[in-house]
Each structure stands twice: as structure tokens, then as C-alpha cells.
Structure 1
């Protein structure tokens, strides 16, 4: 055997803890699991680059002789725990994913874990008892709507906003058409709701928070959208922390010249989805986020509002108005919202004409 054969650890391996087996190595690509004794973990830790059996033997405190170490490495290579360091194996993974991303994808493909749907499901409604006030949103159901084909053809991510406030009536119509609860689905005890955007298992884990800088008839600040009562619950006055949050999650990642009049901060109450889809819940939440953002973008286009989604996520939740919920919510997305700047060169939707007196 060539003594210059190089070995390296499988870059797809992740180390997990199992209640029964202790530490376990998981191949994130194949899904295979291996009991990881401390000596094996130590060996893989020292195999931090392409090494020969002689080189590894010299730095591994459990070594006996190079031939024994070489035999061990070949056995580990056969199992897929280490690899021979040839050109094919050293090239980056074709899918461009990290081991953590591949493990998440593999988990989603295997479906939910056994034992889901046990106990009482989390409620579909999240209340904020600390809210300092409630703003009922106007009934905007009479505002006109355009043909779907026209809306689809005009949808754009718009980054130029007019220097004027968002009309409250348009904001109300936007939230009504994109996110308002239409009712419960049976069985009622499962806490499944019907809403405009689809959600896996009708779990609808996403909560919508409005960061309002310039909205008509609305004091600047942070609000929670109550999708059941179609109202905004005030959580915070406008302050430097809100401005910084909007800059980090919307203005900067969307490459905007200035902050938008309004921004939406989407947070997931993950246990709603996990109750039914434990093991693949995160994947479902990401899909739900995409569905909601697309529904919001199309709704904005229909109403003549300018919108631009961003995928910036902060871990843990950094919104100052959500500090009491840091362990219960996941930040999953954002949306800039305002009236389009008519002077911008980008094709922008035409704002919906409001009825007289609105």
C-alpha cells in the first residue's frame, strides 16, 4: 500500500448528541449515523487536513504504529467517515450547501418525526398583553382590484419610494388581502386557520409586525398585526432602536437609498408548525415565509404600493419590541413598503385611487 496515501475527514459529518447512544456522527448527505466514541472524535479532530497514516499516527495520542493506524483509516474510509484525499473529493460540493443545510434538507425529506400531534397544539393566535394601545383598521374591502394576469405581469421589487406617508386605507387593504384570518378549519381543536397565503398543515406560524415610520393617521412606532380582529396593537414608540432595526433588516440588505415609510418584520412561532411537523418544521416555516412574501408582493402590486422583500434574518430575535419573546419566535423575513416614487426610472405600480373621503 502506498504510504503516501492521504486521508481527510468526511466534510459532510456533523456531531450530535443522542440520549441513548451518547455522541453520534451524522453524514448530512447520506443520513447515515455512527456511534462516536471519544477516541474516534479525537482522531477526526486531529485529521484537520490531508494527512498520511504516518503523519496522523505521530500526532494522535492513541497511536500504536502507522500500519495499525492506516488499517483503521481504511476501515473508516469504507464506512464513509473519512475519505481518500483525491482530486474528486477535494472539490467543493456541487450543491453549494453546508453540512448543516444538507442535514436540514435531508430531515425535511424524511418527513416529520414519530409522535407528532400529541398534546394540546399551540394557539393560532398570539396576544401581546404588554401592548399600549389598539388601532382598529378601516374596512377596505370596497377598494378595486385588478385582474390577476395584470398584477403578475407588473410585480416588481421596487426600491424607490415616494416621500409621502402610506395611506392607512391602503395599508388596511394590504393586510386584509394578504394575511387576515378568514376562519378556522376543522377540527377546531387543532388550531388550524384559513388565510390568504398557504401554510403547511394550515399551521400559519408567522406573525406580522409593522415598523411604521411614516403611515397616515398612525403614530410612528412598532405594531403587531392582529390577523383575527384586523387591528394593530401598539408595542413601541419610534426610537433609535427601531430605526437601527429597519436599517439592518431592510434598508441595508435591499440596497435602499433611504429607509422606507414602513417595513414588515416577520417572525415565526415555530412550535405551531413543530407540533405537526417536528423534524421538518424549519423547512416548512421557510416555505410558508416564501408563500406569504409572494402573496404580500402581489397584493402590494394590486393596490399600487411599492414593496421589496429581504431575506435578512437575525438570530436571536433582535427586535427591541420582542425581547420578552426571544425564546419563542424566529425572525424569518422582512418587507419594505411604501408608495412608489413616480420620478424613479424603475417601472412602478400605479397607486389605487381611494374613494372620496377615505
Structure 2
């Protein structure tokens, strides 16, 4: 086949960033390779928004005098993986997807996801742990009343195997307020600080759910619509003192926040009596793990969510996790902290409509 008949397109997994010297750098997020790039090369890749031959590209790009020169450049870029090369189909065109000489495509990953995954696999950057670590306790100086929560010691627990077998996601709740002692026991068993890991200056804490490096970046906010013994509103949970700090009363803004982050996404007919809004104080994790912090925060969130789901089942609460994340964060009670916190997930809490009922589950096989 005449080499000029091959079709070329830019590798969709290549991103453009700026190097330390200010020049453009191409990043192959799948193979995690970086290439310095001259502006003319960036211009060429800009033209490769669809599969085309060297002759077609020569007509669009003014960086070379002859089509032969363009062909040689494209072959070098294909060998480096910066562009993909494919044979034309029956019409002389290619669909730009599927198998190419450079490997398979269309596996569902975005280049941004690939970049985060690849960077996380390389570990933290060499200059991590600079300066003083952020404190493990998040303060809300604007908070109002502090409500001491009861411990969970007085609430009986069941065997773990039974809790695991009974865990369900529940989207309908009894029309009754959630008792505050159950909220206290729930937070005590899922998020309360049990102690510090040495050295204390590193701000590493021990809590029920694991966290990378003991950093525990996640902050727990309670959206209390109907909690017996608690005024409706938004509260911050202080895991050191096992208290709730009131941030604001219940408003239409809180109702809208609960509607778009939980009720609508979980396909609920009505809002839950209570819910959790989970936010990460990212600096705690990035101080130690800069370069892979986001991946650790996501894993920490999964660990905490699983712990919360099991604890809710153990306490006889109905719960449903919601993984949707707000970007940017819109919680009205966190407006002063939008440059320090990111939303990582939510959870609905309430009493089950029938404690003895369980959703039907089809057996395996058959």
C-alpha cells in the first residue's frame, strides 16, 4: 500500500501541558511518556481532529513544504505513539476507532482519568511533606450551638456476618424522625477519632475507617431535616469531641441541596429525614501524598462509605449511598471554604418502613 494512503489522527490519550521552562509538553497518559513539543507540532496535532492522509493534512497545515515531508513527520509521530495510524476501509476512510497499529482504543477511559491513574501509580512527588502538616481537626469558627452526642456503647450490636448479609441500599423511609441517639451511635462507630499516631506533629489520627497515611481528610456534615431532639439544619461533626456544631437552620437552599445531591440521583420519591454531605479537606492528604492525593481521597471515601453503610445496617437504620460529586462545591454552609474542601459523596439516612422487610434478591444460577 502507498504510505500516503494511511490515515492518521492524534492519539486521544495525549494531553497538552506546560513544562517548567514554559514550553508545551505532550503527555501520553496511557503509557505515561512526555515529549517536548515545538509550537508547529502543536499546530499539526490541532489539525488532526479526524483521520486523514498525509496529502490531506498537507493541504490544511502550513508547517511543511511537501506532502512527503508531512508523511515522514506523521510516521515519526506514529512510532512515538503521539498519533495513531490506520489503513483506509473500503471507502478510503477510517472510522478513527477500534484497533490501530498502535493498539486498541475506545475502552471508556478519558485521558484525564488515565492521567490521574498513571500519576497515582508513580507515588507522591519527591518534594511532598513540605512545611507544617495541616491540622487533623477542621474548625468552623462561625458555628453556633454545640450539641454533645451520646456514645454508641448503649446501643447493642449484631454479629458482623449477619450485618454483611443484611446490608441493603434503601430508598424509602418511614415517616418518622431519626432518634438522635442513633445518629450519635452511628457517628461514634464510623468517624470518631480514637487517638493519635506518633509523631503527634504529623497530625495522624486513628478512626474506625482506614485512610491513607492516617491523614483522614474527610469531614462529615449532617443535613438534619427530621432528627428527634435536633433543630432542623446543617451541622458539622467534630470527631474529636463527638459533638455536632450547628452551621445554619433548615432553609430552602438546604432542601434544594438535598434534592439535587441525594433525592433526585437516588430516584427517591421523597427526601430522607437525614443525610450526610461528605467533603475532603484535601490539604491533609496532599501534604504527604502530593501527586497521588486525589486517588487516595477517593479510596478513603469508599472505605468510609462502606463503614457507614455497615454501621447503619447494624443500628437498624435505612441508608443509601450516593457517589455523585459537586464541582464546584455548592453547599451554602461551606461557602467560606470552597477553596479548601471538595465534595466527595453523600448518604441518605432514615428509619426503615418495615424493619422485617428486605428487598427481593434473585438467587444465583437457574
If the TM-score is normalised by the length of the shorter chain, which range does it land in?
over 0.9
2:319 is the counterpart of 1:318 = no
**Residue 158 of structure 1 contacts residue 346 of structure 1 at CA under 8 Å; is this kept in 2?**
no
C-alpha contact (below 8 Å) 2:281/2:340 kept by paired residues: yes
Contact 2:97–2:106 under 8 Å retained in 1: no
In the alignment, which residue of structure 1 is the partner of 2:280?
Answer: 268
Describe how 1:158-177 pairs up with structure 2 within 5 A.
Answer: 158-177=170-189
Matched, 1:342 2:347: no
- Residue 226 of structure 1 pairs with residue 238 of structure 2: yes
Instruction: Find the aligned partners of 1:88 and 1:189 in 2 and give their Cα distance.
Output: 57
Q: How many positions carry a matched residue from both structures?
A: 348
In structure 2, how many angstroms separate the alpha carbons of the residues matched to 1:283 and 1:276? 13
Q: CA deviation at 1:62?
A: 2.0
Q: Deviations over 1:90-139 (max 9, x none)?
A: 12736421111011111111111102122100000000001122111123
Q: Distance in 2 between matches of 1:257 and 1:85?
A: 50
Structure 2 CA distance for partners of 1:272 and 1:343, relative to 1, 3 Å: closer
1:90 to 97, 102, 113: 97
Structure 2 segments unaligned to the other structure (5+ residues): 88-93, 99-103, 361-366
Counterpart-to-counterpart distance in 2, 1:131 and 1:93 = 51
1:70-81 paired onto structure 2 within 5 Å: 70-81=71-82
Instruction: Specify the alignment match of 2:54 in structure 1.
Output: 53
Q: What's the offset of the Cα at 1:16?
A: 1.2
Are the aligned partners of 1:224 and 1:234 in contact in 2 as well (CA < 8 Å)?
yes
Q: Within 5 Å, which residues of 2 pair with 1:122-137?
A: 122-137=134-149
2:198 maps to 186
Task: Give distance in 2, aligned partners of 1:285 and 1:278.
Answer: 11
Distance 2:106 2:357 in 1: 38
TM-score (norm 2): 0.92
- Hey, what's the Cα distance between the residues in 2 that align with 1:242 and 1:129? 20
Q: In structure 1, how many angstroms separate the alpha carbons of the residues matched to 2:249 and 2:138? A: 21
Q: 2:15 corresponds to which residue?
A: 14
CA apart distance, 1:83: 1.1
Does residue 215 in structure 1 map to residue 202 in structure 2? no
Alignment check: 8 A CA contact 1:211 1:265 kept: yes
The 3 A distance-change label for structure 1 pair 8 and 191 is same
Give 2:299's aligned residue.
287
8 A Cα contact 2:7 2:53, kept in partner:
yes
Please tell me the root mean square deviation across aligned C-alpha atoms, in Å.
1.6
Describe the SS at the equivalent of 1:112: coil
What secondary structure is seen at the aligned counterpart in 1 of 2:228?
coil
Instruction: Mark the runs of 5 or more structure 1 residues left unpaired by the alignment.
Output: 349-358
Q: What residue number does 2:90 align with?
A: none
Q: Is the 8 A contact 2:58 2:70 kept in 1?
A: yes
Deviation at 1:345, TM superposition (A): 5.9
SS at match of 1:130: coil
After the TM superposition, list the runs of 4 or more consecutive aligned residues in structure 1 that deviate by more than 4 angstroms. Answer: 86-89
Moved more, 64-73 or 287-296: 64-73
Structure 2 distance, partners of 1:331, 1:159, is 22
Corresponding position of 1:297: 309
Kept after mapping to 1: 8 A contact 2:51/2:95 = no
The alpha-carbon deviation at position 310 of structure 1 amounts to 0.5
Task: Output the TM-score relative to the length of structure 1.
Answer: 0.94
